[in-house]
Structure 1
Amino acid sequence: MTLRNLYTIFVLTAVLFCAASNVNATSSSPTNSGWPQLIYKATIPDMQSVLGYSVGQRITSHPDMLRYFEALQKSAPRNIQIFEYGQTWEGRKLIYAAIGSEQNIANLTQFSQDMQALSDPRVTDKRKAKGLIDSLPSSVWLEYSVHGNEISSTDAAMMTAYHLLAGEGEVTVDNIMQNSIVFIDPLQNPDGRSRFIANYYSTVGMNHSSDRLSAEHNEPWPRGRANHYLFDMNRDWLAITQPETKGRIASLKKYHPLVVIDLHEMGGDESYYFAPSAQPVNPHMTQAQIDNINLVGRNNAKHFDANGFDYFTREIFDAFYPGYGDSWPTFYGAAASTYEVASSRGQIFRRLDGSELSYEDTVLRHFVASISTAEAVANNRTKLLNDYYQYQIDAIEAGRSDKKERVFILPNKRDRAGHFKLAKLMTEHGVDVYQTTEKVKMCGETYAPGSYYIDTAQPRGRFVKTTFTQQVDMSKAFIKEQERRRERKLGDQIYDVTGWSLPLMYNLAVNTCGKSVSGDHRLVKMTDTLEGHVTNANATVAYIVPWGDMAAGRFLTAALQQNITLKTADRAFTIDDNTRYPAGSLIIEVAANNADIAATVQEIATQSGALVDGVNTSWVTEGPSFGSNDTYLMSAPKIAMAWDDPTSSLSAGNTRYVIEQQFGYPVTAIRTSTLVNADLRHYQVLILPSGRYQNGLGKAGADNIKRWVEAGGVLITLGSATAFAADADIGLLDVKRELAINEQNSNENPDTESSTVAGKAYASRDDLIKHSENSEESPDFVAGVLANVEVDQEHWLTAGVAPDVVGLVYGDDIFAPIRLASGKNLAWFKGEEDVLASGYLWKENKKQLAYKPFLIHQPTGNGMVIAFTQEPTTRAYLDGLNVMLMNAMFSAPAHAYVVK
């Protein structure tokens, strides 16, 4: 059969895009195509018969998607099974479907067990593996609409499922069904899609508008891209914070599909993108994986060429960051890729060239790519299975042969809660993590019981390498090209963050060893819990919670919400028995609380995982006593945050999630426009996430907030909100945002009032470039690196925070230090040679960022402004900054002076 005839299977459009509801309809190909007709099984319902519209006529809602897949399962229960893998924050069901031959679907449980066996050569030798490879079908996982406003792929998922079930008897469909299992996750982000659809159809008038200026094509804040907590879930695969991501990862771990495709949308003026990916590629990916996904890309190209569809490869979308939906699967051994189609962002879209892109067009292209991918996977069953098993062998061997970083060790000396969370996170990723149960010696160091370690000589060893190694380098050729482009004042091609080391983001020390570990240990399990404990549970004087980790933080938020009376100590102190407690430690005095305080403390300790000491004396031998002016009574603050335009939806959502779900404390979202005149007296803390507030708040809003701060409020600004507060016309923060360092002599700048300039001779092209530069411009934009930060240890805002932490630097904001007459710089970036912790940072930015503030405190009247020059809540994965943020939210109100 010719390629042109093979393409017959893709001509679903004539059936599904026609208005007829007859399920016996025959698909008629375009008359000039030469494709024969294709008849679908009458027993399989099409969308028209179930939903009342055909593919592309309407953007399918989440309930309609569920209804259609349920109808497919009812009509073909032996060929499709639907599984629920979770619920969204808003209670919407998350499903995936498994589609294949009757035998493959009947053996789905056995398939899962066999893929688990094939995934671990430590238990499955080559002989057993060969037997599995000879018998196993191949598998492909197609995931659609992780961004809720990238709408076409869900309808393409429905179209793909129908085609595979109703096209029985066609050679390529039969090949796919017999030789593979096709997993379809039709809608990864139901909350975001529901938001988009509600907004879209509320703006449609008499006719759908194709004008990009129309309301239909301009979503209101926060748009439909993100989920309920406004997370970009395509970047959540590293931190696994959202229920959608958790369920998806658990499902992929169950089946280990050989190929994973994440289907997206891009700008409407583009065409279609598929693999090979752009540079840089993560160096821990293998050549076989790259070759296999390129093989799939070539198959796509055949079908796109046959149908006259434009496409491009090797541009824009790289394979470097391991936290994407198309990169995470590569680290268990899959071949994976992103597909991107030009988006109509509605029913029809007029492009810049004057042509109109319909919703049907976008769905069709994703459908063609889906079937083409499934075909390539089925055709290469043996190769993909062999390469998958070899990946596991090579991963283990790579770990064994590493004489420096075979084992990563977390000593668990500081931040017990952080170590536990990171160990559990890696376990959730499918990594074997161990905890010592006795003293263990590794590479000359002795580690106490309770330490964690990961041996990279395991199938997931490459994932450990790419997430635990301090630095993952982009290729030298790619870096050289970026520096050349920068020299020419061209934009760089770095797509996302270049630093993501998990131990750094958790601010945990990690050691390495080049040898395997002996000694008693236990495998960390997902069912493990962080055990809280109260010593001297019936204390007569007080209970003390050492400050410095999130177990103590969760204890604090729970205690405040239960109206427990407690204090915080600004400085470290030592009790009579010589037990020393760090600054910020919580003091719960028995006499100041109800008679059942012992039971309440025990309950909160158990829930939070906190360690609590009961004491029978308040005699302090060093540091502030319980009744000192350096101990402050804490109360439950009412916390508000800016919401809606012009707040960054990602920053607002990430911040709200961290406060509500990680800290366990409620926050009130107030629309930014309301803050202009709002009476904020009932709130003690106001958070401005990143955003461009000049238009949303402006001078009037800033003045309203300033009056509230002067009366005793605590204003916390994050990232670009700090630039707003520092604006001279706004006057909330007495610092200045810096321009880029300019080496030109200022007197060489031309007089803008004159039409002429003094003549000058240039000796080289470098002179031309130098004298073409603007005299005033921002520092070069940074896509995201991890930077080292020094922390002042003598201020209550940094109580319990380590002397050195790591923050994420993104964007082009660098601030001059605040003057001591106005406030204090409490954390600052390290020097030029030490500022970069992980990633790639332009040399000029290294120089200028050195010793510039990260955390600023400015008293204002009875209140204060606390400014983070970078965001501490990005993607909710900077756990090492959580204590610093908690101090700003909970200790600051205790230190503000409010007239009662």
Structure 2
Amino acid sequence: MRLTILLLVLSCFQLNAQSKPDLSYYLPQNTSYNQSIPTPESVIGHQVGEWHITHDKLVQYMRALAAASDRISIEDRGTTFEGRPLLLLTITSPTNHNNLETIRQTHIASTENNTVDTNNMPIVIYQGFSIHGNEASGSNASMLAAYHLAAAQSNDVKDLLDNAVILFDPSLNPDGLQRFAYWANTNKSNNLNPDPNDREYREVWPGGRTNHYWFDMNRDWLPVQLPESRARIASFHKWLPNILTDHHEMGTNASFFFQPGIPSRTHPLTPKLNQELTKSIGNYHAKAFDKIGSLYYTEESFDDFYYGKGSTFPDINGGIGILFEQASSRGHIQESANGILTFPFTIRNQLTAALSTLEAGKNMRQEILQYQHDFYKNARKEASKENGKGIVFGDEKDAAKTYHLAEILKRHSIGFHEIKSDFTTNGKRFKKGYAYIIPKNQKNTRLINAMFEKRTKFQDSLFYDVSAWTFPLAFGLDYAEGVSTSNAGAQVKELNMRSGVVSAKSNYAYLMEWHEYYSPKALNKILESGLRAKVGMKQFSMNGKTYDYGTILIPIQNQKKSADQLYSFLQKVATDCHINIDAVNTGLTEGIDLGSNQFRALTQPKVAIIVGDGIRSYDAGEIWHLFDQRYDMRLTKLDTRSLSRVNLSRYNTIILPSGSVSATKQLKEWVQNGGTLIGYRSALNWLKRNEFIKLDFKKMERQATDISFEQRGNFNGAQVVGGAIFEAEQDRSHPINFGYKNDRIALFRNNTMFMKADKQSYNNPIRYTKTPLLSGYISKPNLDSLSLTVPFKVNRLGGGNVVVFTDNTNFRAFWYGTNKLMMNAIFFREEL
């Protein structure tokens, strides 16, 4: 009985003691602080860890620090989708602040010169916190780290600031952080409850991990498609930091992880010395955690393979990326396998890792600076062997996709050139204004290799993230390596998207080809305005030009606008959407005439997407972003909780992302009455089970022989398709493939749904080739199963259609090459 009472008392003491910690719990001992520097509590109104910091209060505190300290300057680099500022603090000594631009220029010069003097060069360290908004201990710890650096009077801190420039990003994901803080704070009890079943630890969909459009932003460092990413990548390339830290959280029952990760899962383009230095830095973390008695581990999980993650992106840019993963309280206090886990404890661990990084950076300063210098020196040697060679990429019928890949190169400080004139290589034609050449002999040649490489052989068969991301394949562009730079024209300094134009005014009709990326945006504007438009089901020629499958016809007759009004309207559409529209004055063609029944009338899409519990938020967010940001189209988000009560007749198309719903009867009746239901990935299982569509999948049998109990995890993991690129054949005459000029397409897939082809070949408009692997890892049994299967099917159900895709056509907002598959399913739904 006494023991029970004692344990209860100790438990209560722990809960109460940790609920309102003061600064002494967090900060280094025996350090005095400048009283003129505001503490977090004096600005935000509560102790760090008492409540989850909201982004507005975090901003308020960082601005207060910058105003009070001559060690800190602050810049606003833009805003999130929700309008929150993307702050960056620069923390260094007042003397360094007075010479900051000179220091930066000297630092960059050290990556471009053959010799370097590191004696008096400060090291540059980028510290980023909580890119996943519901992994909030990082951003909460950032207040303490910034306060310590601004106010500490110790010689150690002064010496650090003399020898380091710290680029300090207190919240890599402001929108997600704000969303999660609201959840954790509104569900906090006065009597803190560690029961993991409490609502506090069960966020509502979609949770605070992601940004406004539900993207995992820690996958966007390389694609750079989101405003938060663009801000930090601009800062990165402006400074080229030597160390970059990325503070995360993991499962509640874990401890603390710091890199290096599993050695065999490091990308081959990353120098071996990078991992050795990472391990040396890790010794500082270990020492700091030993001092405060916190458990940790390293080299057992996570990896350094995909360069789109914050902890790996620096590795291909001459820096050292370091991942921190803290076991998460997911609220304010929670039971765990290691005892009661409190929010303040998680914050203290994050602060400890942040400060141990700075200590390592200061003590290893010259060694790490020399590493970065040698990285670029060696890269220049490699690049010089490629002098006169380059990579050409483009699409002679789609300037926009070409532009958007060039846009990424620009953001990564990669130089590229216009082509002097049209030329053909490897059977592909590259057209001036629609193609660019990247000389290989340039500073960022290793980053170029990382973006353009195709890799199918690997040391390890397990990946924390995707195993392939070849950019020209993602964009659906033609490209060729090893081309002569004699084809290069002027270097592109200012990148501008090609202007759209209407060729002339017509009193008969206008034609718009479907190849350009923004053609769906243009067609939606046309239909939304009440104009009539038709799609050509066959090819035809007129005025010396061949028009491909999917050409859009806008007749003059019987429109709601006069000929003059229509011309003015289409001029604006062409300009806004960067497309060409041809005026024609006759309906007579070589092939189908413009009055042919092979031109099918189109109707305005009225599209909804199912979101909420049971739906994969990443997939839903990518689709929402595509409609809202790329194609300027309205998309109604229908929540699974209320789906059975919605009048679905308002919509002619409903998208079901990966997941399942309960409103089976309502959806089936809607399809039977003429609706088009588009299902993705795991939604196919639900559609098959509920008899929306007949699907036949290949079944995989995993037979393990001579596999030990210890090896079972790796064996099963090797059968996962974590993310690779595969080739499929296209029947370009089928409406799902309208707008594609080649008969092959690169598809991204990260699942093992192998859908059998139909016996009728014309029902297989997209089909994986016999040897489909283009880039990435897949086990041989899975590759054999994927061969000659299909990623797309469409079946009638009553008066409507059910369209299914096994693969994600909108992956991470940079898989431009397959976005049009979804648009085709929407605009040409009645012709599929």
- TM-score normalised per structure 1: 0.85
Shift of 1:444: 12
Offset from partner CA, 1:106-125 (integer Å, 9 cap, x none): 22233333334334x2xxx4
Unaligned stretches of 5+ residues in structure 1? 1-15, 480-492, 744-764
Structure 1 residues 283 and 36: alpha-carbon distance in aligned structure 2, compared to 1, 3 A threshold? closer
Shift of 1:733: 0.8
- 1:688 is matched with 656
Structure 1 residues 108 and 472: alpha-carbon distance in aligned structure 2, compared to 1, 3 A threshold? farther
CA distance in 2, matches of 1:862, 1:114: 69
Task: Work out which of the residue numbers 607, 620, 624 in structure 2 matches 1:639.
Answer: 607
- 1:7 is matched with none
Alignment of 1:449-460 (within 5 A): 449-450=432-433, 451-460=435-444
- 2:646 is matched with 678
Counterpart of 1:421, as a letter, is H
Offset from partner CA, 1:368-394 (integer Å, 9 cap, x none): 111111121122222222222222222
CA distance in 2, matches of 1:92, 1:184: 17
**Are the equivalent residues in 2 in contact too, given 1:571–1:799 (CA < 8 A)?**
no
- 2:497 is matched with 529
Counterpart of 1:709, as a letter, is V
Alignment of 1:66-85 (within 5 A): 66-76=59-69, 78-85=70-77
CA distance in 2, matches of 1:29, 1:527: 48
Counterpart of 2:821, as a letter, is M
Indicate the SS of the match to 2:641: helix
- 1:10 is matched with none
Offset from partner CA, 1:641-685 (integer Å, 9 cap, x none): 001010101111111111221222110000123223432111010
Shift of 1:589: 1.6
Indicate the SS of the match to 2:368: helix
Structure 1 residues 461 and 522: alpha-carbon distance in aligned structure 2, compared to 1, 3 A threshold? same
Alignment of 1:347-386 (within 5 A): 347-353=332-338, 355-386=339-370
Indicate the SS of the match to 1:830: strand
- 2:4 is matched with none
Are 2:487 and 1:504 equivalent residues in the alignment? Answer: no
Offset from partner CA, 1:544-581 (integer Å, 9 cap, x none): 11112313233223323333322111121222x23111
Task: Work out which of the residue numbers 792, 799, 803 in structure 2 matches 1:866.
Answer: 803
Offset from partner CA, 1:254-287 (integer Å, 9 cap, x none): 2221111111001111111112122311111123
- 2:416 is matched with 433
- 1:49 is matched with 42
Structure 1 residues 284 and 638: alpha-carbon distance in aligned structure 2, compared to 1, 3 A threshold? same
- 1:757 is matched with none
Shift of 1:134: 4.5
**Are the equivalent residues in 1 in contact too, given 2:261–2:298 (CA < 8 A)?**
yes
Task: Work out which of the residue numbers 30, 35, 39 in structure 2 matches 1:37.
Answer: 30
- 2:87 is matched with 95
Offset from partner CA, 1:58-92 (integer Å, 9 cap, x none): 2111111111111111211x210111112111111
Offset from partner CA, 1:586-614 (integer Å, 9 cap, x none): 11122344232112212211221112221
Offset from partner CA, 1:608-640 (integer Å, 9 cap, x none): 111222112111221x32222221222321100
Q: RMSD of the TM alignment (CA)?
A: 2.7
Shift of 1:406: 4.8
**Are the equivalent residues in 2 in contact too, given 1:407–1:453 (CA < 8 A)?**
yes
- 1:714 is matched with 676
Task: Work out which of the residue numbers 156, 164, 169 in structure 1 matches 2:149.
Answer: 164
Shift of 1:441: 9.0
**Are the equivalent residues in 1 in contact too, given 2:400–2:497 (CA < 8 A)?**
no
Are 2:278 and 1:305 equivalent residues in the alignment? Answer: no
Are 2:748 and 1:808 equivalent residues in the alignment? Answer: yes
Identity %: 28
Shift of 1:97: 0.7
Farther-moved stretch of structure 1 (191-200 vs 393-402): 393-402
**Are the equivalent residues in 2 in contact too, given 1:443–1:514 (CA < 8 A)?**
no
CA distance in 2, matches of 1:414, 1:835: 25
Task: Work out which of the residue numbers 763, 770, 790 in structure 2 matches 1:824.
Answer: 763
- 1:337 is matched with 322
Are 2:613 and 1:613 equivalent residues in the alignment? Answer: no
Farther-moved stretch of structure 1 (641-650 vs 878-887): 878-887
CA distance in 2, matches of 1:731, 1:420: 43
CA distance in 2, matches of 1:782, 1:334: 30
CA distance in 1, matches of 2:470, 2:307: 11
CA distance in 2, matches of 1:347, 1:361: 10
**Are the equivalent residues in 1 in contact too, given 2:393–2:430 (CA < 8 A)?**
no
**Are the equivalent residues in 1 in contact too, given 2:51–2:185 (CA < 8 A)?**
no
**Are the equivalent residues in 2 in contact too, given 1:275–1:314 (CA < 8 A)?**
yes
Task: Work out which of the residue numbers 99, 113, 130 in structure 2 matches 1:145.
Answer: 130
Indicate the SS of the match to 1:253: helix
Matched residue count:
804
CA distance in 1, matches of 2:290, 2:579: 61
Structure 1 residues 514 and 440: alpha-carbon distance in aligned structure 2, compared to 1, 3 A threshold? closer
**Are the equivalent residues in 1 in contact too, given 2:274–2:315 (CA < 8 A)?**
yes
Alignment of 1:481-520 (within 5 A): 493-513=462-482, 517-518=485-486
Counterpart of 1:318, as a letter, is D
- 1:625 is matched with 593
Alignment of 1:88-127 (within 5 A): 88-119=80-111, 121=112, 125-126=113-114
Are 2:653 and 1:660 equivalent residues in the alignment? Answer: no
Counterpart of 2:652, as a letter, is Q
Offset from partner CA, 1:301-348 (integer Å, 9 cap, x none): 221222222211112210000111122222221111111111111111
**Are the equivalent residues in 1 in contact too, given 2:75–2:87 (CA < 8 A)?**
yes
Indicate the SS of the match to 2:642: helix
Structure 1 residues 673 and 526: alpha-carbon distance in aligned structure 2, compared to 1, 3 A threshold? farther
Task: Work out which of the residue numbers 566, 569, 583 in structure 2 matches 1:597.
Answer: 566
Indicate the SS of the match to 1:173: helix
CA distance in 1, matches of 2:19, 2:133: 26
CA distance in 2, matches of 1:51, 1:329: 33
Task: Work out which of the residue numbers 523, 531, 540 in structure 2 matches 1:573.
Answer: 540
**Are the equivalent residues in 2 in contact too, given 1:779–1:812 (CA < 8 A)?**
no
Indicate the SS of the match to 1:410: strand
Counterpart of 1:716, as a letter, is I
Shift of 1:471: 1.6
Alignment of 1:714-753 (within 5 A): 714-727=676-689, 730-741=690-701
Are 2:394 and 1:407 equivalent residues in the alignment? Answer: no
Farther-moved stretch of structure 1 (108-117 vs 504-513): 108-117
CA distance in 2, matches of 1:407, 1:372: 42
CA distance in 1, matches of 2:403, 2:584: 27
Counterpart of 1:313, as a letter, is T
Indicate the SS of the match to 1:604: helix
Structure 1 residues 103 and 827: alpha-carbon distance in aligned structure 2, compared to 1, 3 A threshold? same
Structure 1 residues 50 and 472: alpha-carbon distance in aligned structure 2, compared to 1, 3 A threshold? farther
CA distance in 1, matches of 2:286, 2:706: 46
Are 2:505 and 1:538 equivalent residues in the alignment? Answer: yes
Counterpart of 2:155, as a letter, is V
Are 2:419 and 1:423 equivalent residues in the alignment? Answer: no
Which runs of 4 or more aligned residues in structure 1 lie more than 6 Å from their structure 2 counterparts after TM superposition? 16-21, 440-446
Counterpart of 2:615, as a letter, is T
Indicate the SS of the match to 2:192: coil
**Are the equivalent residues in 1 in contact too, given 2:133–2:173 (CA < 8 A)?**
yes
Indicate the SS of the match to 1:660: helix
Alignment of 1:314-329 (within 5 A): 314-329=299-314
**Are the equivalent residues in 2 in contact too, given 1:782–1:841 (CA < 8 A)?**
yes
Are 2:278 and 1:293 equivalent residues in the alignment? Answer: yes
CA distance in 2, matches of 1:291, 1:472: 26
Structure 1 residues 387 and 242: alpha-carbon distance in aligned structure 2, compared to 1, 3 A threshold? same
